[in-house]
Amino acid sequence: MQYELRRERLKNLHFISTIWFVINAGYMLIAGLLQTGRKWWVIVSVSGYSALIVFLLISLYLFAVFKNVAAGDKTAKEHSLTTSVYYLLFYYASPFIGTVAGIFAAVKSSTVSNYLLVMAAGSLWVTFLVWIMIDPLLAVIEILVPPGRQHWRRRLARARVQHAKDRLAKEHLLAEVQAREQQQRNWWRTVLTPAARELATLLTSSNITHEVKKTKAVDIGVDAWQMGGLNCMQQLHSMAMEISGRNCRNWKIIDYVSIWWDGIGSWRSDWLEKDS
C-alpha cells in the first residue's frame, strides 16, 4: 500500500514538474520572439504549432516514464541508484531545482523580464542536463558494473525460462484441444455411420421421389445439427459423400445433400451461393 502511494505521488510530482518545464520553455520562446521584434500574431501562430509538438513529445515522454516507474520493481536491483526514492525525487524535481538555481543566478538582473528569463533558462538547462545527460549515463553505468550486470543477466534468464514455460503450456493446451476434437470426431464417425449410409442411399437411389429424399435428408441434418452443430453436419456430409463415391464409381454424384440442408442451423449451400 505504501509503495503504491509513493509511486502515485512520484507520478504526480513528475506531471507537475513537466508542466512547469513546458511553461518555462513557452516563456523563453515568446520572450525570444518579442526580442526579435515579431508581431503578436506571429507569436501566437508559432506558439500554437510549438505547443502541439511539445504536447505530443511530452505525452510520449510521460508514457515512457510512467511505464518505467511501473516496471521499477523488476529492474530495481539492476538500477539501485536510479530507482531509489531520493534519486527519483531529484530527477522529477529537476525543473524546480533549475528554477531555484536561476533565481540565484538572476539576483543582479536589472529588469523583471531578464530576471524571469534567467529563471526559465535555469529550469530548462538543469532539466536538460539531468533528464537527457545524467540519467542515461547513470543507467548505463549501473548496467556495466558487476552487480547490475549480474542482476540483468539473471532477469533475462528468468524471462527466457518463463517464456519457455508459457510456450509449453500453450502447446500442451493446444494438444489437449486437438485430442478432444479428434476424440469427438471419432465418436461422431461411429454414431453417424447409419445416417451417412442413409444419406448415401438417398443420393444414389432412383426408386425414391425427390420430395421424400429432401424430407428425410432435412430430418437427418436437423438431428446432426442438434448433436454437434456445424462441425457435426460437415463430418456427416463428408461421410455420406465418401460412401456414395464408393458405391457409385461409374458416374458422378451430385451433392444434393448440401442443397437440401441449406438453412439448417448455420449451414449454407455452396451451390445456392454460386447460383445467386
Q: Where are the domains of the chain?
A: 2-144, 178-275
- How high is the pLDDT of residue 132? 80
pLDDT at residue 96, as a whole number: 92
Whole-number pLDDT of residue 9:
79
The parts of the chain modelled with pLDDT lower than 50 are: 1, 40-49, 60, 64, 67, 69-71, 272-276
pLDDT at residue 41 in the model? 47
CA atoms 50, 52, 53, 54: torsion sign: positive
pTM given for the model: 0.45
| DSSP-derived secondary structure for the chain | -HHHHHHHHHHHHHHHHHHHHHHHHHHHHHHHHHHTT--HHHHHHHHHHHHHHHHHHHHHHHHHHHHHHHTHHHHTTTTTTTTSHHHHHHHHTHHHHHHHHHHHHTTT-SSHHHHHHHHHHHHHHHHHIIIIIIHHHHHHHHHHSHHHHHHHHHHHHHHHHHHHHHHHHHHHHHHHHHHHHHHHHHHHHHHHHHHHHHHHHHHH-SSS-HHHHHHHHHHHHHHHHHHHHHHHHHHHHHHHHHHHHHH--SSPPP-HHHHHTTTSTT---HHHHHH-
At 222 the pLDDT is 93
pLDDT at 70: 47
pLDDT given for residue 219 in this prediction: 92
Q: Provide the pLDDT for residue 195.
A: 92
